Amino acid sequence: MVTEPTGGLVAASAREREDHAQIRDLLESWVLYRDSADWEAFRGVWHSGAWMTATWFQGPAEDFVEASRAGFDAGVEIIHALGGFTCRSNGSRAIAHTRMSIQQRGEIDTVLVDVTCVGRFYDFLEHRDGRWGLVRRQPAYDRDRLDTVDPGAELRLDPAVLDRFPVGYRHLAYLQEQAGYRVHQGLPGLRGPEIEQLYREGDAWLAGSARPGRYL
């Protein structure tokens, strides 16, 4: 059974409640800054040396900002939405776990489609230089689906391509590979060793580990 560590759902002090509110605001800002192409503000949610993982990207957060800008300028349409939120903190460190969805519009074999992927952001944060900031963002992908924008359009996916990817993001990967991205394998999902490892890394971060886990 996949379990997330417990014990941090209710803040024990006014300071923790304020910290968690600031973190929630930071994560909501991430979505709005990125999806509205406010790139300078988007840089401000990260700390120096931060790391970002996505289906189509793994690397320093600064490079992710530039890659997101380049995609936006090229017409790539990706939007995010957030849902439930929990946070655990220990002094200047925190782990936030937030329900999210990713929606991407694009073409597969000239057919316009929407892909919706539901998952979670699992974030490693630190209070540094007077503010909270992200030091690592690792999404977990629970499930996804694909719909044609025109309900009457006919589209046949290649099952061999679809089955190369985990069930949590296989349709998203299919669309992104059609757009020319190299999509990463083995990212965390709802169950399995990848998500269990991520939870252990979160515990270690709160306990004072030298780095925020092992990047995939």
pLDDT tens figures, 155-175? 999 999 999 999 999 999 999
- 13 pLDDT tier (thresholds 50, 70, 90): confident
How far does CA 35 lie from the centroid of its chain?
13
CA distance 195 to 6: 15
Q: Where along the chain do its domains lie?
A: 14-206
Name the DSSP letter for residue 75.
T
Closest-CA residue to 61 (of 33, 100, 94): 33
Closest-CA residue to 168 (of 141, 145, 188, 191): 141
CA distance 175 to 24: 30
- 4 pLDDT tier (thresholds 50, 70, 90): low
Query: Is it true that domain 14-206 has CATH number 3.10.450.50?
Result: yes
- Please tell me the pTM assigned to this model: 0.92
Name the token pair of 109.
């074999």
pLDDT tens figures, 139-151? 999 999 999 999 9
- 215 pLDDT tier (thresholds 50, 70, 90): confident
pLDDT, position 12: 63
pLDDT tens figures, 71-128? 999 999 999 999 999 999 999 999 999 999 999 999 999 999 999 999 999 999 999 9
pLDDT, position 214: 84
pLDDT, position 52: 98
CB 9 within 8 A of CB 17: no
Residue carrying structure tokens 């790391």: 51
Sequence-separated (6 or more) residues with CB below 8 Å from residue 204: 213
Residue carrying structure tokens 């269990």: 196
Name the token pair of 66.
């530039």
Name the token pair of 82.
């957030």
Closest-CA residue to 113 (of 165, 151, 69): 151
What is the residue-averaged pLDDT of the chain?
A: 94
